[in-house]
């Protein structure tokens, strides 16, 4: 948008900073012109009252142009290609995996040898969990960064990473890396300077001489790690000040009311964009703005900061998109896409934590009422935005569905959540799950759940008891959950180890830096001899791997699975079933009905429920597109085997 005040300011800035010119810069300037009014307005809103507003804005613009100058020609070309094909990330062709490079392959250099495995499974997007330099001990699995521009020597060097990126580009595999934007390690240079008394760097954090303001903040801030890191402030002996530490006591929260912090993070985002990263996962974005008297989560300013980050990234590296990691209430999560697909855009992708938690609810209850209600309650998301659908990740499972949805499903919120924690920690009489309670808050009664997918699904118990029917059920459950993240709409993100049924691993209990945090129970070091069993017919690994592999291959062929806000729930009457219709707006592509049975007994779905969907028969029978199996029909009803989902052409 053209607006006089901002444009005359931009002209001043460009004259002062002596911007480069030339053909190569055309795209940069057109994008800067297009986004500058938004950048200016947001910056004005956040920092307009400051005397140094103009030099700060100039410094932001010079970061954008300095990083553009360093953007490699092939990445600039990719930016232009993605501009033309702007919904590239919403296609059903993408299938992701999240992994720790250490646990998956040992280090970054070895990762190159494992790309063949990822290709074999059909994965073409890899989220490598944090690899930036971190302290040896206090590192929160890489989320306490000491140097944002250095690869942690434990995983290799920047050169190893560059070689890996080149190898991934060769096989059309996209890369996601983290930018931990909310906090740094207390060993980061900024924190060290702050500890040395430098005011400039103390202003990068929230530091207070006494408890007055910390007490006021804490009065309304929920605790993230109530067991091992209670409270939200930590006393720093070097400065005699209280520092805000919402997560662990060694993770210092960055203070975005200081524009210098925002500019540093823009620079870091563009640094990684210029390394060739396709998608940046912005960690803990709900926490970016703190306000006394509020929970200091999901604040309006946190959204404005994300809009600014997006507008800036679009000027220099528009082909790079963002994932919002905001594990918050359903109605809050959706806001991280932004208010509008073009203006006020934030992140193109967001973790679908709601769907994940609802799936686990359906597994425990064998009932889909809450799943259906919870999905119904999700507001339609923006165009040009998509979900990251996952079953497990490196974090705990938070039971983050809304109380209203629980009540509407006939349960009582407190006792229902307690039931789920009991169920997944194996304390419920009927449960064979082997998870652990995480983040137990004795004051509020809240708890989350840790545990590997296979162990939560009952495989560990079943194997220990050598109980064949229970092993079968666990395998069915694992496949069913993967089936739904493949078909729901969005990018499925598999967690490393899950496609061969990797179990809990309590090795972390021997490590003093990890033993207090049971999320490590589901952050495995893969044993590649066990992984090789994926090719041994009849093994658990092979039964899982072959089905998930086939599912991925089929997903990629079904255009209706692209995420274009093209899903409609189908009312199933039967409370064990969950079904939806995936359609394509235009063209002749087949539509698909997905129907899933969460019960441990076969269930009937009356055919008339699908009347308007026109289920297509092949030679008089219905075929499941995913497995190729013939669907059993009896008395005008589909018979769904236990713990099974079908994809039916419609």
Interface residue with ligand GLC, options 283, 422, 498, 624 (CB under 6 A): 283
How many residues of this chain interact with ligand GLC, rule: CB under 6 A?
A: 10
Nearer to ligand GLC, 130 or 489 (CB): 130
Nearer to ligand GLC, 132 or 277 (CB): 132
CA pair distance 266, 38, nearest whole angstrom: 15
- Report the run of H or E that residue 569 belongs to, with start and end: strand 567-570
Q: Does 322 bind ligand GLC (CB under 6 A)?
A: no
Provide the token pair at 620: 């008089």
Q: Are strands 577-582 and 567-570 parallel, antiparallel or unpaired?
A: antiparallel
Tokens 């060993």, located at residue: 187
Q: Does 135 bind ligand GLC (CB under 6 A)?
A: no
Nearer to ligand GLC, 264 or 283 (CB): 283
Residue ranges of the alpha helices (H) in 294-366?
A: 300-316, 330-333, 353-365
Nearer to ligand GLC, 284 or 540 (CB): 284
- What are the Cα distances from residue 142, in Å, to 102, 114, 145? 11, 22, 6
Q: Give the CA-trace dihedral at 403, 407, 410, 414, to 10 degrees.
A: 50
Residue 283 falls in the annotated catalytic set? yes
Tokens 């009932």, located at residue: 367
* Stretch touching ligand GLC by CB under 6 A, among 136-144, 353-361, 365-373, 588-596: 136-144
Q: Rounded to the nearest whole angstrom, what is the least distance from the CB of residue 72 to ligand GLC in the complex?
A: 29
* Stretch touching ligand GLC by CB under 6 A, among 40-48, 135-143, 336-344, 633-641: 135-143
Give long-range contacts, CB 8 A cutoff, 24+ apart: 543-549.
543/475, 544/475, 544/478, 544/479, 544/499, 544/500, 544/501, 545/121, 545/499, 545/500, 547/479, 547/627, 548/121, 548/479, 548/482, 548/494, 548/499, 549/120, 549/121, 549/122, 549/499
Site string for ligand GLC, 496-535 (x = CB under 6 A): ----------------------------------------
Give long-range contacts, CB 8 A cutoff, 24+ apart: 341-346.
341/382, 341/383, 341/384, 341/385, 342/384, 343/38, 344/38, 344/307, 345/307, 345/310, 345/311, 345/384, 346/303, 346/306, 346/307, 346/310, 346/322
Q: Residues 546 to 575: which contact ligand GLC by CB under 6 A?
A: none
CA pair distance 363, 376, nearest whole angstrom: 18
Interface residue with ligand GLC, options 68, 104, 205, 247 (CB under 6 A): 247
Nearer to ligand GLC, 284 or 347 (CB): 284
Q: Are strands 125-128 and 132-133 parallel, antiparallel or unpaired?
A: unpaired
Q: Is the dihedral of CA 83, 89, 94, 100 positive or negative?
A: positive
Nearer to ligand GLC, 264 or 311 (CB): 264
* Stretch touching ligand GLC by CB under 6 A, among 139-147, 154-162, 167-175, 573-581: 139-147
Q: Rounded to the nearest whole angstrom, what is the least distance from the CB of residue 259 to ligand GLC in the complex?
A: 23
* Stretch touching ligand GLC by CB under 6 A, among 138-146, 297-305, 552-560, 635-643: 138-146
Q: Rounded to the nearest whole angstrom, what is the least distance from the CB of residue 306 to ligand GLC in the complex?
A: 15
Encode 385-396: b = buried (16+ Cβ within 10 Å), e = exposed: bbbbbbbbbbbb
Interface residue with ligand GLC, options 284, 333, 447, 486 (CB under 6 A): 284
Q: Rounded to the nearest whole angstrom, what is the least distance from the CB of residue 355 to ligand GLC in the complex?
A: 17
Q: Rounded to the nearest whole angstrom, what is the least distance from the CB of residue 130 to ligand GLC in the complex?
A: 8
Nearer to ligand GLC, 76 or 146 (CB): 146
Q: Residues 167 to 196: which contact ligand GLC by CB under 6 A?
A: 180
Helices (H) and strands (E) counted in the chain, each on its own, are 22, 24
Q: Residues 6 to 45: which contact ligand GLC by CB under 6 A?
A: none
CB atoms within 10 A of CB 476: 20
Provide the token pair at 553: 């291959």
Distance of CA 83 to the CA centre of its chain: 23
Q: Rounded to the nearest whole angstrom, what is the least distance from the CB of residue 168 to ligand GLC in the complex?
A: 22
Q: Rounded to the nearest whole angstrom, what is the least distance from the CB of residue 281 to ligand GLC in the complex?
A: 9
Please, which residues have CB within 8 angstroms of residue 321's CB and are 6 or more apart in sequence?
Answer: 89, 278, 279, 280, 347, 348, 349
Q: Rounded to the nearest whole angstrom, what is the least distance from the CB of residue 395 to ligand GLC in the complex?
A: 5
Q: Rounded to the nearest whole angstrom, what is the least distance from the CB of residue 140 to ligand GLC in the complex?
A: 5
Which position among 152, 249, 283, 361 bears the catalytic label?
283
Nearer to ligand GLC, 42 or 125 (CB): 125
Which position among 186, 325, 348, 498 bears the catalytic label?
325
* Stretch touching ligand GLC by CB under 6 A, among 113-121, 140-148, 153-161, 505-513: 140-148
Q: Rounded to the nearest whole angstrom, what is the least distance from the CB of residue 225 to ligand GLC in the complex?
A: 8
Nearer to ligand GLC, 97 or 474 (CB): 97
- Residue whose C-alpha is closest to residue 480's, from 465, 463, 498, 497: 498
CA pair distance 517, 531, nearest whole angstrom: 26
Nearer to ligand GLC, 395 or 599 (CB): 395
Strand partners, 386: 349
Q: Does 140 bind ligand GLC (CB under 6 A)?
A: yes
Q: Rounded to the nearest whole angstrom, what is the least distance from the CB of residue 260 to ligand GLC in the complex?
A: 21
What secondary structure letter does DSSP report for 252? E
* Stretch touching ligand GLC by CB under 6 A, among 18-26, 37-45, 137-145, 194-202: 137-145
Interface residue with ligand GLC, options 33, 141, 602, 641 (CB under 6 A): 141
CA pair distance 206, 214, nearest whole angstrom: 9
CA pair distance 170, 59, nearest whole angstrom: 36
Q: Rounded to the nearest whole angstrom, what is the least distance from the CB of residue 284 to ligand GLC in the complex?
A: 4
CA pair distance 641, 645, nearest whole angstrom: 8
Q: Is 175 helix (H, G, I), strand (E, B) or coil?
A: strand
Nearer to ligand GLC, 248 or 541 (CB): 248
Site string for ligand GLC, 338-367 (x = CB under 6 A): ------------------------------
Q: Does 223 bind ligand GLC (CB under 6 A)?
A: no
Q: Residues 142 to 171: which contact ligand GLC by CB under 6 A?
A: 143
CA pair distance 181, 254, nearest whole angstrom: 8
Nearer to ligand GLC, 335 or 582 (CB): 335
Q: Which residue is nearest to ligand GLC (CB)?
A: 143
Q: Does 395 bind ligand GLC (CB under 6 A)?
A: yes
SS3 of 12-30? HHHHHHCCCCCHHHHHHHH
CA pair distance 276, 249, nearest whole angstrom: 33
> Where does this chain bind ligand GLC (CB under 6 A)?
140-141, 143, 180, 247, 283-284, 325, 394-395
Q: Provide the annotated active-site residues.
A: 283, 325
């Amino acid at each position: 948008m053209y607006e006089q005040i901002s444009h005359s300011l931009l002209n001043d800035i460009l004259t002062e900073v002596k911007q480069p010119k030339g053909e190569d810069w055309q795209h940069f300037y057109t994008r800067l012109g297009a986004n500058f009014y938004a950048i200016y307005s947001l910056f004005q809103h956040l920092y307009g009252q400051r005397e140094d507003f103009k030099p700060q804005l100039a410094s932001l613009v010079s970061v954008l142009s300095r990083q553009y100058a360093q953007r490699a020609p092939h990445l600039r070309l990719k930016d232009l290609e993605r501009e033309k094909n702007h919904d590239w990330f919403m296609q059903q062709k993408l299938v992701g995996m999240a992994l720790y490079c250490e646990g998956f392959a040992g280090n970054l250099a070895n990762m190159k040898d494992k790309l063949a495995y990822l290709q074999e499974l059909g994965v073409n997007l890899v989220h490598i969990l944090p690899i930036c330099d971190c302290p040896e001990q206090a590192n929160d699995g890489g989320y306490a960064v000491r140097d944002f521009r250095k690869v942690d020597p434990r995983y290799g060097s920047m050169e190893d990473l560059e070689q890996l990126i080149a190898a991934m580009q060769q096989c059309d595999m996209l890369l996601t890396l983290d930018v931990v934007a909310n906090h740094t390690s207390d060993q980061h240079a900024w924190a060290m300077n702050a500890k040395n008394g430098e005011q400039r760097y103390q202003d990068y954090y929230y530091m207070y001489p006494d408890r007055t303001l910390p007490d006021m903040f804490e009065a309304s801030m929920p605790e993230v790690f109530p067991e091992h890191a209670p409270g939200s402030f930590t006393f720093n002996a070097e400065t005699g000040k209280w520092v805000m530490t919402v997560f662990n006591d060694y993770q210092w929260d960055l203070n975005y009311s200081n524009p210098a912090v925002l500019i540093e993070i823009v620079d870091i985002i563009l640094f990684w964009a210029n390394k060739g990263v396709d998608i940046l996962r912005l960690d803990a974005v709900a926490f970016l703005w703190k306000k006394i008297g509020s929970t200091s989560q999901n604040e309006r300013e946190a959204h404005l900061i994300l809009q600014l980050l997006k507008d800036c990234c679009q000027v220099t590296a528009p082909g790079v998109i963002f994932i919002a990691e905001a594990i918050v209430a359903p109605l809050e999560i959706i806001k991280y896409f932004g208010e509008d697909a073009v203006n006020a855009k934030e992140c193109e992708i967001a973790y679908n934590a709601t769907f994940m938690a609802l799936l686990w609810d359906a597994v425990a209850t064998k009932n889909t009422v809450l799943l259906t209600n919870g999905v119904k309650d999700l507001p339609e998301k923006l165009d040009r935005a998509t979900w990251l659908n996952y079953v497990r990740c490196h974090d705990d499972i938070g039971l983050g569905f809304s109380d209203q949805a629980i009540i509407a499903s006939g349960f009582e919120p407190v006792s229902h959540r307690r039931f789920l924690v009991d169920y997944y920690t194996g304390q419920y009489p009927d449960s064979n799950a082997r998870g652990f309670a995480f983040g137990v808050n004795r004051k509020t009664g809240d708890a989350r759940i840790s545990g590997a997918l296979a162990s939560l699904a009952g495989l560990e118990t079943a194997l220990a008891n050598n109980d064949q029917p229970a092993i079968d059920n666990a395998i069915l459950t694992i496949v069913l959950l993967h089936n739904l993240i493949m078909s729901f709409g969005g990018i499925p993100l598999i967690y490393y180890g899950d496609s061969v049924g990797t179990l809990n691993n309590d090795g972390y209990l021997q490590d003093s830096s990890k033993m207090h945090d049971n999320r490590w129970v589901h952050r495995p070091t893969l044993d590649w001899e066990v992984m090789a069993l994926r090719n041994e017919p009849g093994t658990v690994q092979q039964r899982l791997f072959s089905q998930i592999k086939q599912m991925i291959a089929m997903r990629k062929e079904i255009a209706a699975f692209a995420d274009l806000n093209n899903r409609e729930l189908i009312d199933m009457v039967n409370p064990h079933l969950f079904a939806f219709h995936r359609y394509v707006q235009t063209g002749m592509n087949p539509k698909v009905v997905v129907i899933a049975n969460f019960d441990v007994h076969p269930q009937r779905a009356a055919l008339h429920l699908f009347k308007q969907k026109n289920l297509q028969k092949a030679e008089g029978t219905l075929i499941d597109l995913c497995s190729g199996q013939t669907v059993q029909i009896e008395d005008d009803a589909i018979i769904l085997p236990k713990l099974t989902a079908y994809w039916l052409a419609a």
